[in-house]
Structure 1
Amino acid sequence: MATTKEQKQRKEDLSRNIKLFWKIVATGIGLVVLLFVLTGLGLFGSLPDHTKLENPETDLATEIISADGETLGKIYKDNRTPVDFEDLPQNLVDALVSTEDERFYEHSGIDGYGTVRAVAFLGSRGGASTITQQLAKNYFTERPSQNIVARIIQKLQEWIISIRLEKQYTKEEIIAQYLNQIDFLYQADGVRSASRIYFGKEPSELNVEESAVIVAMLKNPRQYNPRRAVSKEKSLQRRNQVFVQMVRNDKMSEAMKDSLKQQPIKLDYNPEGHNDGMATYFREFLRADLRKWIKENPNPETGEPYDLRRDGLRINVTIDSRMQKIAEKAVTDHMANLQEEFDDQNKKLSTAPFRDVTEKEINEKIIASAMRRSDRWRILKAQGKSEQEIKDSFLEKTDMTIFAWNGDIDTVMTPVDSIRYYKKFLQAGMMSLEPQTGHVKAWVGGINHQHFKYDHVKKGKRQAGSTFKPFLYATAIDLLHYSPCKIYSDGEYTIPAGRYGLSKDWTPSNSSGGYGNLKTMKEALASSTNTISAQLMDEVGPQAVVDRAKSMGIDTDNFDVTVSLALGTADVSLYEMVAAYGVFANGGIYNEPVLVTSIEDKNGTVLFQYVPESKDVMNPEVAYTTVKLMEGVVQSGSGARLRDTWRGQQGYGKVLTGYPYKLENDIAGKTGTTQNNSDGWFIGMVPNLVSGVWVGGEDRSVHFYSTTYGQGATMALPIWGSFMKGVYANESLGISKEPFPKPSNLSIEVNCAEYVDGMNSNDSGADDGSDQLDM
């Protein structure tokens, strides 16, 4: 039995230990408080102030928005476009809070219960990091340090920033910011990109299974990514665990959980790289155009240029995503068939895909030129390689992925062989424009932007062939007040040497042969009669035609002002031609093509607003009369393939076995085919839409042998027909089927039937054929 003295000693020891314990606790608390204070004062590293908390430095993608409100694509360093809380579905919010931070709505940035539990069980029963802490870590702290002291400091910084964030923002704003900040891989930065890339929809459209997949990735976007083959099973298991957490938090019934767990993960993968998605050629052209705008329009607050890849601008463009989809499908469907026919016809051609050249010319000119323009040549030259070393490298076999219409092919070939392989592909360009506003509604610059970067809408310039003839006819109508009913003979016609600077007589021929017929101007344009075009050119002179084309937006600076312009010898772009034809459809008023309607910064402030500019360049009478001329092309000429009466040419393969467009409304247009069938054109219009198509090889020596396939009516017109059939099928687009509006003061007679009734024009309805371009 202990003595009184021992008992007293024990009491004193206990009291001393208790005091020591509380001193240690108090000291610990004091040290923690001191650390908090010192950390808050920035002793261990600066912390974000109120301004930085309000405007965290985050790279935001510039977004290109179509006229109908769809995202066409983005320009970015990080593919991040923020969304507000209101744009998030409730099932996504429930899944997030249930899985990542059950007491999110109860704490003020730090979960005390979770912290004590994490310390007591050393993290074995879950961590203590709240959604707010994770946001603070993502925004303002560096990667976790391996040094224990440094890591403690980082954790204190996270806590302080979290508390400040909770004071700065509502819970809803914190959730939105957190989901906007996460990198979900595959260029899916933030929840909006993740939703669009993995599921092909906006966040607001996500169902509960899809939301659970996104929340499952938060733990480790790589380890639980449903796109990666090695992590699909882990992603499924983690998604199902999200369902369990939602049941635990009364956000889902047990029965629904059991049902959803049986469902596989269903992805709708839509990559958002610069070569992916819609309007890739348009977006690339736009990016270059925007760089010019940025140089001239610095940020008024900083005086620095905007950064397209980081500043989150919103570019509102005129492209209609619905029409763009239709245009791209029309190009793809026709060009795949046309290429198949082209390849078949070249099987026995020793110089394939080239014609009209020798093998020596191919190697010394075409291939050699392509080598020097290639990235390989540029890179090796920059490395200091000699010209011979560079040439030798083109003969070494290498692994590569090449384009094919039925899917890319992994293969091994030399760079020289790949050049020749790619040269065989026929290319295409298409543009559609609303003439009353100049708004460009569709833009297809080529067949595949991944493999063929060259844009055939704006950058490419080729001989226009007979699509240039309406400018000649309009000049004659304007200057000489001619009617479409005026009659000409299609006999041989010579413009003598000396006239218009000719060094020798010029006598063009008609592609369809046959001379000695009488034709109205309307019939002559429909059959593209070259001899009548020559007569008109002799009557008005080439300078007047060039002036007319220039007034309609055609770049004529490099034109050879000569009589062969009557046959379309000048190089023009599809962009210029469609805009110029818009003058005819718009009663003589020219609107330069418009691509961007406005530009906004990330806060919605308007930085640029397009102001329409129009100019009268042609008498409305002349414009309407030229339209009536071009209607003849579709009524009885090469454009008649658009009508229900056309039955195709049987026995010529699927390219020519029928044209199922059945367009019976008033359509004006013109086909064009250049010498040797190198270029095929069709530009057609209805009152509120002008669309143009060009098809041809990258090199002029890549072409069909015969006009049957090489003419504009076969190469280009089917794309136009498919496109128009598609846009008419969507009535919400409002594309007109009405006649072109007639000027109230029309004094030129356009109804030839009353004056040439029953005239046998001997019109075969053939296309332009190979317009003779020799002088």
Structure 2
Amino acid sequence: MAKTKAQKVQDKEAVSKNVKLFWKLVFTGIGLVVLLFLLAAWGIFGALPDHTVLENPQTDLATEIITADGKTLGKFYNPGNNRTPVTYDELPQNLVDALVSTEDERFWDHSGIDGYGTARAFAYLGSKGGASTITQQLAKLYFTVEPRANKFERGIQKIREWIIATRLEKQYTKEEIIVQYLNQFDFLKGAIGIRSAARIYFGKEPKDLKVEESAVLVAMLKNPRQFNPQREISKKKSFNRRNQVFFQMVRNGKMTEELKDSLREQPIVLDFKPEGHDDGLATYFREYLRDWLKEWAKDHVNPDTGKNYNIYNDGLRVNVTIDYRMQEIAEQALQDHMKNLQAEFDKQNIKNKTAPFRDLTKKETENIIKAAMRRSDRWRIMKAAGKSEKEIYASFEKKTDMTVFTWKGEVDTLMTPRDSIVHYKKYLRAGLMSMNPQSGHVKAWVGGINHKHFKYDHVEQGKRQAGSTFKPFLYSTAVDLLHYSPCKELPDGEYTIPAGKWGNLKDWTPKDSGGDYGNILTLKEALAKSKNTISARLIDEVGPQPVIDRASQLGINTDKMDAVPSLALGTPDVNLFEMTGAYSVFANGGIYNKPVLVTSVEDKNGTILYQYVPDSKDVMNEETAYVTVDLMRGVVNYGSGSRLKDSWRKSQYIYKNVITGYPYELKNDIAGKTGTTQNNSDGWFMGMVPDLVTGVWVGGEDRSVHFNSTKYGQGATMALPIWGLYMKNLYNEESLDISKEKFKKPDNLSIETDCEEYKAQQSGGLDEEDDSDELEI
């Protein structure tokens, strides 16, 4: 039935009314959305960051330690803040392509919000992917504090992210947004930011990442835990997600189909290198540096915060003198030798009923163990908790799960804390320090065998008796005061200094191991053989105090040294830091350079906050320094140090059960001195070439932990092989250009060092050496 005109008018009005209602609803909806955006922008739902915050978003930046050859040695950071930013120019193009292709295909075209992606997300309710842009993800990383509880709050949070994203787009270039996002993202495993991630997961700088490695890291952006290639449970997911990144790159024209097909079947290959404080190179040096920086920071204020610099989050750059290549070689040399030496030590302790101790009663052994208990964290914590000593001692007898060090790797075991103390006591410890004598720059610092399990630093903290390595201070004093030539002859018969002459309370008659007396030796032979009898004659001639003065001039702390004759045999306690600096004076023509560790400190913007000023002084005339070096040449040319120049066959014979097959065969000019202390408790070797002085010490934590014979316990067996391996491998690294030249001879040298010429003038002697120089005091 046809509609009347009135009905038609009514229908038309109804349609018009519905259309108007529709548009009212649309505009109302739009208005509400706009209102929500305005309210969010006005901060009604919570304050938004202003332009100053957007210009300088607050992020904690790790302090980075940079070696002399430009490599990152380590970092200082609070947990979760191992972040060191990079610039866009330091990113490889393949990483940028993988990121944009996977996370935000229209990144270069939008202004912070992807309209197409947002519409698609609404239309399909997110089933075909979200719409979050890289800029929005950056906004979320910077300014989202915590997840929202309900849908309304999550919606408001999304609006806030949109607003911040558009502001970020106005504030920064696209390149800056990409690099900020990658610098901010937490890749887990201590890898905050792309630089830490590249170093930790692949052992390289971001610019060196291959496309397949970049794809792995981009795959982690979706969920760094779920797609983590280092976690066993997520390796398959990481593999599949990486291949999805390849697909996205092909889709966006950033990778060919052929390359994708060649890469998609390849497994993920990691070079996982965690950057914890106990991981990586130079761990002992880094601990020393941490203390140094803390002291420095006490006197320096960060103008951005108005507070003293914080070494964990102010992004400092510390330039140090350590050479990364030399540090690697030093640590490897020490590890290689100590593993073999420990095996021999353990073998010799099989039948030792008091192992690992020697020469002690049961009561003395118990006292050592109890002293270790009282120094432990367990004791300190339980004492603070109010536990009695009886309760604390009892806790050391209860077995507990623990991970202990062995030379075959860490072992999980069930052990009492008391037994763990004995376990660690049996390990021989070692230290090495190497420095350039002309600049004072410390090039390598190895404080022990494993920083995680042995915290004590045997470069700077550890002070032990110097043994015969102290004798060059005595000999140089004699050269200086008495103008003695290395070719001067003295008898090596027993020599007694009567009681009271030099402060000694009783007659002092030092012995030589082996009792080979009655010879006439040159000073060079006497030092080479470490003749205690001739050392006694020399200190009687010059007196103990001038020797102490000489040691002090060379940088040795002499505050606790008594001016007594036994100084001649190296009774004072010294550390490697002091000894290496002191020996550097001989190699540097009598000029002392205080060992340098830090050349400069910069803030996060590259402004120099600290610059090292050289600290040098003349402490010995050039002639005395050279003559002392010449004396120490004898140690290497025909004394206990001569094994540095031995052939492989002879080296095997000398060390048959200890370190078979260390053929050094060094042919260049070397000077040095071995040292062994009472009961073979300490083994030293101080060695030098014209541009590098290196000291090595080996021994037990306790002096009662030692070899039973001088054959194995002397410095020539315990310490010298580390020096030999170190130097041999330094020379194999030609880029280091370590000197093979002769020590520079001063012009117009007035002391004759050529013994043939000296003999012609005054009827002189011969040359030879041995290092069996136990202290007899």
TM-score, normalised on structure 2?
A: 0.98
Q: Which residue of 1 aligns with 2:539?
A: 537
Amino acid across the alignment from 1:94: D
Say yes or no: does 1:723 pair with 2:723: no
Say yes or no: does 1:687 pair with 2:690: yes
- Pairs within 5 Å for 1:188-203: 188-203=191-206
Moved more, 77-86 or 671-680: 77-86
Cα distance between partner residues in 1 of 2:71 and 2:658: 34
Amino acid across the alignment from 2:774: S
Give, in angstroms, the shift of residue 525 of structure 1.
0.4
Question: Could you say what secondary structure the match of 1:20 adopts?
Answer: helix
Q: Which residue of 2 aligns with 1:518?
A: 520
Give, in angstroms, the shift of residue 121 of structure 1.
1.1
Q: Which residue of 2 aligns with 1:665?
A: 668
Give, in angstroms, the shift of residue 760 of structure 1.
10
Question: Could you say what secondary structure the match of 2:327 adopts?
Answer: helix
Q: 1:637 to 1:651 in 2, by over 3 A?
A: closer
CA deviations over 1:685-721 (Å, ceiling 9, x no partner): 0111000000000000000000000000000000000
CA deviations over 1:618-638 (Å, ceiling 9, x no partner): 011111111111111101111
Of 303, 308, 311, which aligns to 2:314? 311
Whether contact under 8 Å (2:531, 2:773) holds in the other structure is no
Give, in angstroms, the shift of residue 528 of structure 1.
0.4
Say yes or no: does 1:770 pair with 2:774: yes
Give, in angstroms, the shift of residue 658 of structure 1.
4.8
Q: Which residue of 2 aligns with 1:27?
A: 28
Of 424, 427, 433, which aligns to 1:425? 427
Say yes or no: does 1:62 pair with 2:56: no
Q: Which residue of 1 aligns with 2:10?
A: 9
Question: Could you say what secondary structure the match of 2:502 adopts?
Answer: helix
Give, in angstroms, the shift of residue 659 of structure 1.
3.9
CA deviations over 1:183-202 (Å, ceiling 9, x no partner): 11110111111111111111
Give, in angstroms, the shift of residue 2 of structure 1.
2.2
Cα distance between partner residues in 2 of 1:737 and 1:55: 52
**Is there any run of 5+ residues in structure 1 with no aligned partner, and where?**
none
Question: Could you say what secondary structure the match of 1:650 adopts?
Answer: helix
Amino acid across the alignment from 2:114: D
Whether contact under 8 Å (2:540, 2:565) holds in the other structure is yes
Of 286, 293, 303, which aligns to 1:290? 293
Q: 1:35 to 1:759 in 2, by over 3 A?
A: farther
Q: Which residue of 2 aligns with 1:528?
A: 530
Give, in angstroms, the shift of residue 652 of structure 1.
5.4
Give, in angstroms, the shift of residue 418 of structure 1.
0.4
Give, in angstroms, the shift of residue 655 of structure 1.
2.1
Q: Which residue of 1 aligns with 2:370?
A: 368
- Pairs within 5 Å for 1:497-508: 497-508=499-510
Whether contact under 8 Å (2:600, 2:612) holds in the other structure is yes
Q: Which residue of 2 aligns with 1:124?
A: 127
Whether contact under 8 Å (1:641, 1:659) holds in the other structure is no
Cα distance between partner residues in 1 of 2:397 and 2:263: 56
Cα distance between partner residues in 2 of 1:200 and 1:296: 36
CA deviations over 1:500-542 (Å, ceiling 9, x no partner): 1221100001123211100111110011000000000001110
Give, in angstroms, the shift of residue 147 of structure 1.
1.6
Of 548, 556, 576, which aligns to 1:546? 548
Give, in angstroms, the shift of residue 301 of structure 1.
4.4
Question: Could you say what secondary structure the match of 2:460 adopts?
Answer: coil
Moved more, 26-35 or 485-494: 26-35
Say yes or no: does 1:225 pair with 2:231: no
Moved more, 132-141 or 644-653: 644-653
Amino acid across the alignment from 1:215: V
Q: 1:649 to 1:166 in 2, by over 3 A?
A: closer
Q: Which residue of 2 aligns with 1:236?
A: 239
Of 83, 86, 91, which aligns to 1:83? 86
CA deviations over 1:381-411 (Å, ceiling 9, x no partner): 1111111111100000000111010111111
TM-score, normalised on structure 1?
A: 0.98
Cα distance between partner residues in 2 of 1:728 and 1:277: 23
Cα distance between partner residues in 2 of 1:377 and 1:389: 10
- Pairs within 5 Å for 1:622-771: 622-644=624-646, 647-648=650-651, 650=653, 653-756=656-759, 765-771=769-775
Whether contact under 8 Å (1:184, 1:217) holds in the other structure is yes
Cα distance between partner residues in 1 of 2:764 and 2:399: 63
CA deviations over 1:255-281 (Å, ceiling 9, x no partner): 222221111111111111111100000
Cα distance between partner residues in 1 of 2:338 and 2:161: 57
Q: Which residue of 1 aligns with 2:463?
A: 461
Q: Which residue of 2 aligns with 1:577?
A: 579
CA deviations over 1:550-609 (Å, ceiling 9, x no partner): 011000011122110000000000100000000000111101110000001111111101
Whether contact under 8 Å (1:677, 1:705) holds in the other structure is yes
Give, in angstroms, the shift of residue 46 of structure 1.
1.2
Moved more, 49-58 or 581-590: 49-58
Cα distance between partner residues in 1 of 2:595 and 2:772: 28
Say yes or no: does 1:145 pair with 2:135: no
CA deviations over 1:655-675 (Å, ceiling 9, x no partner): 254541111111110000000
Say yes or no: does 1:605 pair with 2:607: yes
- Give identity over the alignment, percent: 70
Amino acid across the alignment from 1:72: L
Question: Could you say what secondary structure the match of 1:501 adopts?
Answer: coil
- Pairs within 5 Å for 1:168-179: 168-179=171-182
Of 136, 161, 170, which aligns to 2:164? 161
Amino acid across the alignment from 1:529: K
Cα distance between partner residues in 1 of 2:518 and 2:227: 78
Q: 1:502 to 1:690 in 2, by over 3 A?
A: same
Cα distance between partner residues in 2 of 1:697 and 1:121: 70
Q: Which residue of 2 aligns with 1:493?
A: 495
Cα distance between partner residues in 1 of 2:57 and 2:360: 62
Q: Which residue of 2 aligns with 1:280?
A: 283
Give, in angstroms, the shift of residue 496 of structure 1.
0.3
Whether contact under 8 Å (1:341, 1:653) holds in the other structure is no
Cα distance between partner residues in 1 of 2:438 and 2:373: 44
Whether contact under 8 Å (2:627, 2:753) holds in the other structure is yes
RMSD across aligned positions (CA): 1.5
Cα distance between partner residues in 1 of 2:422 and 2:28: 80
Give, in angstroms, the shift of residue 654 of structure 1.
4.3
Question: Could you say what secondary structure the match of 1:500 adopts?
Answer: coil
Cα distance between partner residues in 1 of 2:764 and 2:349: 40
Report how many aligned residue pairs link the two structures: 772
Cα distance between partner residues in 2 of 1:85 and 1:422: 48
Cα distance between partner residues in 1 of 2:667 and 2:84: 45
CA deviations over 1:112-165 (Å, ceiling 9, x no partner): 111111111111111010000000000012223022222122111111110111
Whether contact under 8 Å (2:215, 2:246) holds in the other structure is yes
Of 339, 348, 352, which aligns to 1:349? 352
Question: Could you say what secondary structure the match of 2:31 adopts?
Answer: helix
Question: Could you say what secondary structure the match of 2:302 adopts?
Answer: coil
Cα distance between partner residues in 1 of 2:759 and 2:224: 76
Amino acid across the alignment from 1:705: N
Give, in angstroms, the shift of residue 51 of structure 1.
1.4
Whether contact under 8 Å (2:488, 2:765) holds in the other structure is no
Whether contact under 8 Å (2:522, 2:766) holds in the other structure is no
Say yes or no: does 1:98 pair with 2:92: no
Give, in angstroms, the shift of residue 644 of structure 1.
3.2
